[in-house]
Amino acid sequence: RVVAVIMVGGPTKGTRFRPLSLNIPKPLFPLAGQPMVHHPISACKRIPNLAQIYLIGFYEEREFALYVSSISYELKVPVRYLKEDKPHGSAGGLYNFRDLIMEDSPSHIFLLNCDVCCSFPLPEMLEAHRRYGGMGTILVIKVSAESANQFGELVADPVTNELLHYTEKPETFVSDLINCGVYIFTPDIFNAIHDVSTQRKDRANLRRVSSFEALQSATKTLPTDFVRLDQDILSPLAGKKQLYTYKTLDFWEQIKTPGMSLKCSSLYLAQFRFTSPDLLAIGNGTKSATIMGDVYIHPSAKVHQSAKIGPNVSISANARIGPGARLISCIILDDVEIKENAVVIHSIVGWKSSIGKWSRVQADGDYNSKLGITILGEAVTVEDEVVVINSIVLPNKTLNVSVQEEIIL
Ligand code: GDD
């Protein structure tokens, strides 16, 4: 049997995701109309003999309760949220719940970061992992040399695929092969994490003996139960024939900012063409809006037949899109109203916001720059004929004059 664990973090993480993370835990923010964490969860469905999916995080339990029960029912696989009392790091969080995770006596444990967007080739990884015969296999991808330093950089043996060297976010270039944040382990991973925290305890005790040193390093040391998968486990175990790599040639992105969520929404919409074509809108018949490219529309949303939608648009529950509206590359959240002839391009429109007649909410669409997409927080009102360009507007604001490249607090 196999179990899957998805690390979802908590409210102190994901601060770069503001203002959208003010309303909703980042893992539940919709990409292609489905919560971010839904994409790895539904990929787990392809794992043979999957017994359980655990989400581990330090958000309040009630924030995940509804989602977890509905997705368990939908996928017919039990999904449980496990709450840490405090952050234990990406490996410490897993270790904290080792007894529960081992209840199903799994032969393998998948570990996934929730904030990555990829095709999650999990069955293929499992097969490769069995062939390699190590303790763990890491999904890796080649990226541009300039962007590699935002990730864990690694060197792998070109023949055996063994992980030879690993450095987390290095200051000087090591390699353009990076860690995708998707792993498969045997239960031996728990011993490896245990060893790291025992070594830390021993060191802490030694320090207590020589108090001068203790004074010097007290501020630098991590709690003994805080273990990071990358620095504390992958780096020291590289080159010891325990860890191997599986390279993906498919798409992969990390989702730390609202700009990247728009990019990833488009990647998942494109993937739906193969995995869930029933979720994509098709504009046929005279009574439906004009649909261009990949578009998701929630069944409860009302889109006027003279509106023109797409490509890369997702429209959430109860949104109302008026006559003549034009939407391109955007995420429209629940209960938004877009009035007649308004235009929205490269933007995220927050819950319950309203965009007036003949207004424009737009940006140049540079996903990596701070103001490259326009973001309206919850319950923002853009009055008629107002233009909002490359801006971020915090919740509950009313805009009655046009703005450009501004952050409206
Ligand atoms: N439950 C829980 N508890 N989750 C945590 C904790 C914790 O204490 N700390 C981090 N996480 C979760 C985050 O929500 C995220 O899904 C994942 O663990 C990794 O987060 P970080 O440790 O902050 O690392 P990162 O996202 O900056 O980088 C990691 O992922 C990259 C791929 O996206 C590293 O492993 C990089 O090497 C890798 O390239």
Express each pLDDT in 61-112 by its tens digit: 999 999 999 999 999 999 999 999 999 999 999 999 999 999 999 999 999 9
Measured in Å, residue 349 CA sits from the centre of ligand 1 at 27
Residue nearest to atom 12 of ligand 1 (CA): 9
Ligand 1 centroid to 150 CA: how many Å?
Answer: 12
pLDDT at residue 168 is higher than 70: yes
Q: What is the pTM of this model?
A: 0.94
Q: How far is the CA of 217 from the centre of ligand 1 (A)?
A: 25
pLDDT tens profile 193-216: 999 888 887 877 776 666 655 555
What is the reported pLDDT for 210?
Answer: 63
Find out whether the beta carbon of 151 lies less than 6 Å from any atom of ligand 1: yes
Closest ligand 1 atom to residue 87 Cα is 8
Q: Is the CB of 111 under 6 A from ligand 1?
A: no
pLDDT of residue 212: 57
CA of 5 to the centre of ligand 1 (A): 13
Banded pLDDT at 162 (limits 50, 70, 90): very high
Residue 178: is its pLDDT beyond 80?
Answer: yes
pLDDT tens per residue across span 363-405: 999 998 889 999 999 999 999 999 999 999 999 999 999 999 9
Q: How many angstroms does the Cα of residue 113 sit away from the middle of ligand 1?
A: 6
114 in contact with ligand 1, CB cutoff 6 A = yes
Q: How far is the CA of 402 from the centre of ligand 1 (A)?
A: 39
Q: Check pocket membership of 38 for ligand 1, CB cut-off 6 A.
A: no
314-371 pLDDT, tens digit each: 999 999 999 999 999 999 999 999 999 999 999 999 999 999 999 999 999 999 888 9
Is the CB–ligand 1 distance for residue 57 below 6 Å? Answer: yes
Determine whether the shortest distance from the Cβ of 115 to ligand 1 is under 6 A.
yes
Kindly report the three-state secondary structure assignment for every residue of the chain.
CEEEEEEEECCCCCHHHCCHHHCCCHHHCEECCEECCHHHHHHHCCCCCEEEEEEEECCCHHHHHHHHHHHHHHHCCCEEEEECCCCCHHHHHHHHCHHHHHCCCCCEEEEEECCEEECCCHHHHHHHHHHHCCCEEEEEEECCCCCHHHCEEEEECCCCCEEEEEEECCCCCCCCEEEEEEEEECCCHHHHHHHHHHHHHHHHHHHHHCHHHHHHHCCCCCCCCCCCHHHHHHHHHCCCCCEEEEECCCCEEECCCHHHHHHHHHHHHHHHHHHCHHHCCCCCCCCCCEECCCEEECCCCEECCCCEECCCEEECCCCEECCCCEEEEEEECCCCEECCCCEEEEEEECCCCEECCCCEEECCCCCCCCCCCEEECCCCEECCCCEEECCEECCCCEECCCEECCEEC
